[in-house]
Structures are given as structure tokens and as C-alpha cells.
Amino acid sequence: MNDTETLSPVLPDETEEATRRLLAKACDRDIMFATAESCTGGMLASLLTDVQGVAHAFDRGFVTYTNEAKNEMLGVPLKLIDQKGAVSREVAIAMAEGALARSRANIALSITGFADKGDEPGLVHFACARAGRTTAHREEHFGSLGRGGTRIKCMQVALEMMTEML
């Protein structure tokens, strides 16, 4: 079986297994992924490239921590961010759809939230886009798990959403 190396010490075994299964299925179907991350800082992109032999199912990742980066790299309108907030359903959907449009991927997953501070610590919005389908959205309230704990929970949700969209 393939090994997940970089993040292995901090990831639950079930997250590693879910990553392996997702990437293997994507490779079997010739599907590629892209990510658009804010509060996770590229952790999902790292996870998807850590599994040897199937990492070619990953096209690219966008780490868009600032509002300007969300606008410049993903085309998220600054007016939308101003009106709805960077941590919102609408912005998560715009991020996922922007990543899909700006990549060669078939499926794009976005994550935007408050990892450890902000209006509500642990509030995270996810969106998963695929051409020809309605973009899926999920809102999670992880609570005060801290930055690391929230990011790990985000990996689990992201993998679930990507698997469902596959």
C-alpha cells in the first residue's frame, strides 16, 4: 500500500486511509483535484500530495489567506467578501468555483474559517465544485479545538466532501 509521509504523525489513521482511498478512486477514474484554502494554509494540498503513487490526482492548490488573495487568485469579488464576510457560505462556494475555473481539475474543494480566533472559533465553511453539478456546501462548528485541532477536523470533512463529489 502507499505511504502517507509528511503529515502522518498528526493525522488519525482513518484520515490517512480516507486519503488513500480517495486518491486511488480518482486515479482509476482519471479525475484531478484542486484546493482553495484559507484557514488550513495548504494542509489539504499537502495531504493530497503526500501519498506516493497516486498524488498525480492532484492538479494544484491555492492558499488564499487574505481577501485580496481570494480576489486575485480565485476571482472572488471583494464586494461579496465585504457583504458576506470571508468566512461564509457564499465565499466558500465562490472559492471552490474559482479554483475549478482556474485549474485543470475536475473537482475543487475550498475551506474558509476561523481556526482558533475570530467571530466564532472553529466555524468553517467548505464547498466542493464539479463541472455540471451543483456546488456542495457544508458548515461546521468545531468549537475551540485550537488551530491544529481545527485543521485536522477540516481534513476529515474535506475528504468526505471530495469523496461524495467523486
Q: Is the pLDDT at 4 greater than 80, yes or no?
A: no
Q: What is the pLDDT of residue 13?
A: 86
Q: Is the pLDDT at 29 greater than 80, yes or no?
A: yes
Give the residue-averaged pLDDT of 35-60: 93
CA 16-18-22 angle, to 5 degrees, is 120
> Cβ contacts of residue 91 below 8 Å, gap of 6+?
70, 76, 80, 81, 84, 85, 112, 125
Mean pLDDT of the chain: 92
pLDDT confidence band for 1 (50 / 70 / 90): very low
Give the residue-averaged pLDDT of 114-118: 81
Q: What is the pLDDT of residue 8?
A: 62
Q: What is the pLDDT of residue 5?
A: 53
Q: What pTM did the predictor assign?
A: 0.93
CA 115-153-39 angle, to 5 degrees, is 30
